[in-house]
Amino acid sequence: MRSHLLNDATAESYRRSVTEGVERVADKLAATRGPFTGVTPAELAPVIDAVDLDKPLGDASAALDELESVYLRDAVYFHHPRYLGHLNCPVVIPAVLGEAVLSAVNSSLDTWDQSAGGTLIERKLVDWTNGRIGFGPDADGVFTSGGSQSNLQALLLAREEATAGRGGWEGPADLSRLRIFSSECSHFSVQKSAKLLGLGMDAVISIPVDRDKRMQSVVLAAELEACRAEGLVPMAIVATAGTTDFGSIDPLPEIAALAAEYGAWMHVDAAYGCGLLASPTRRHLLDGIERADSVTVDFHKSFFQPVSSSAILVRDGATLRHATYHADYLNPARTVAERIPNQVDKSLQTTRRFDALKLWMTLRVMGADGVGGLFDEVCDLAAEGFALLAADPRYEVVVEPRISTLVYRYVPAAAASPEDVDRANLHARKALFASGEAVVAGTKVDGRQYLKFTLLNPETTAADIAAVLDLIAGYAEQYLGETLVHA
């Protein structure tokens, strides 16, 4: 069994084994004809159940053969131009290369003595991102597992800042008096974080959005005033820069001004919109982000990085101390005086992947303009898709895209009840998924069922969008036809 350990004696077997795996995936990518096979959980579960984990196959080739039927054959493929579903992206090769390197070396980014250069590379990428945001020299940050964790950490810092001198770590301040303001289109991790942070049930005040799905800053101002009048504490305002559903960007300068006026922490959730930081033509859409106290970026959404790669950035690095604990076995307090860079001092995680290496390889090979240019391409594509939808009488589209999502729905020519239209759209989404021809997402707008394209693949064309719209209309019409016959 020692022959399976990766070390000096097995370097040749490592080379063979990983190369074989890479070749299988490369063949798969070349041969894939659709984003999905349409397999159902009921069909796939027995295949996986049949595997006896206590009877190993012994060698990598056999395990790879088996992997074909348990995973690769029916996986969802994000590189396919007709995958238009969620915010998971196709990946760039330099990042995949970084992934292969980082898992073989297996650095852990909690302490310097488990990472060495890895820590400095991560710090340099944090500085690079802060430069793009426009933060000053005091800024800092750390990589995280994803946007949800970044948002949680940002709100932890906000909570500690709001309660500093009124308890902090030492004792409970009156957490039930803290309020977080975010738009009705903000990510659900804001709510979850509030719960995890021990805030009250009604801690998150949902601010309505305008027609373009941007937070209404006039309502925000009124809610902040009401909060103050009631003697409550405006702990944080979460502005979303790229809402998950619509890609809309809240009015950052107005929100920054209100945060300053009411002494609230300003967090910008740019999990989706962060790709604009590297965009050669659209960086201005994020103007005002430099006034935030903290920013969430998900490189695994709009920087074409494999899951996971995310970071939280803060304007004042000193605020990260709210996440600092010292343990004698890991990062004793003396290491601070000795200036040993231990990233765990800034992180909610302990053992932590060297995800930063993927972005490093991406920037070293492609450069920021290269990766930002890819994001620009999908934004351009979204504009084309909007024009198609707006001109198509079969469809109703909600808003002009700010970045790369389109929310729309099929509307029949003949009269149909709103419930039937909802059902027809849901049916079309499911039928499309089951066919494997394309994958689209869905959401609700004002209680009604809509469909969604999240465009993240520069290989997708307007012709792909047109073809998928024809498929959806076909399924929806078929459903309504059958419903009317049976009615």
Residues in the site for ligand PLP, rule: CB under 6 A? 87, 146-148, 151, 187, 189, 240, 244, 269, 271-272, 298, 310
Q: How far is the CB of 311 from ligand PLP (least distance, A)?
A: 11
The least distance separating ligand PLP from the CB of residue 185, rounded to whole angstroms, comes to 9
Distance CA 313, CA 412 (A): 47
Minimum CB distance to ligand PLP, residue 190 (Å): 8
For residues 401 and 383, is the Cβ–Cβ distance under 8 A?
yes
E-strand stretches of 76-146: 83-84, 140-144
Please tell me the distance from the alpha carbon of residue 406 to that of residue 423, in angstroms, as a whole number.
Answer: 20
Residue of closest CB approach to ligand PLP:
147
37/244 with CB nearer ligand PLP: 244
C-beta of 37 vs 305, nearer to ligand PLP: 305
Shorter beta-carbon distance to ligand PLP: residue 258 or 268: 268
Pair of tokens at residue 393: 């009488």
Contact yes or no for 139/316 (Cβ under 8 A): yes
Cβ-contact 374, 353 below 8 angstroms: no
Alpha helices for 197-262 (secondary structure H)? 217-229, 252-262
**Alpha-helix runs per DSSP H in 231-338:** 252-262, 299-302, 334-337
Q: How far is the CB of 255 from ligand PLP (least distance, A)?
A: 15
Report the nearest approach of ligand PLP to the CB of residue 260 (Å).
Answer: 23
Nearest CA among 325, 238, 249 for reference residue 283: 249
Which is closer to ligand PLP, CB of 189 or CB of 217?
189
Tally of CA atoms within 13 A in the half-sphere of 188 that contains its CB = 1
End-to-end CA separation in angstroms for the chain: 66
For residue 114, the Cα-to-chain-centroid distance in whole angstroms is: 27
Q: Distance between CA atoms of 22 and 5, rounded to whole angstroms?
A: 19
Token output for 195: 């719960």
Question: How far is residue 146's CA from residue 215's CA, in Å, rounded to a whole number?
Answer: 23
Q: How far is the CB of 422 from ligand PLP (least distance, A)?
A: 24
CB 148 to ligand PLP: min, Å:
3
Q: How far apart are CA 346 and CA 327, in angstroms?
A: 14
Least distance between ligand PLP and beta carbon 160 (Å): 21
Nearer to ligand PLP, 269 or 290 (CB): 269
Nearer to ligand PLP, 375 or 410 (CB): 375
CA–chain centroid gap for 189, Å, is: 11
Which residue in the block uniquely carries the two structure tokens 């395990």? 63
CB nearer ligand PLP, residue 87 or residue 173: 87
Q: Outline where DSSP puts E strands in 55-145.
A: 83-84, 140-144
Name the residue nearer to ligand PLP (CB basis): 155 or 472.
155
CB of 86 to ligand PLP, least distance (A): 9
The residue (of 17 and 189) whose beta carbon lies closer to ligand PLP is: 189
**Residue 156 CB, nearest approach to ligand PLP (Å):** 15
Query: Furthest-apart CA pair in the chain: how many Å?
Result: 79
**In the complex with ligand PLP, which residue's Cβ is closer, 173 or 269?**
269
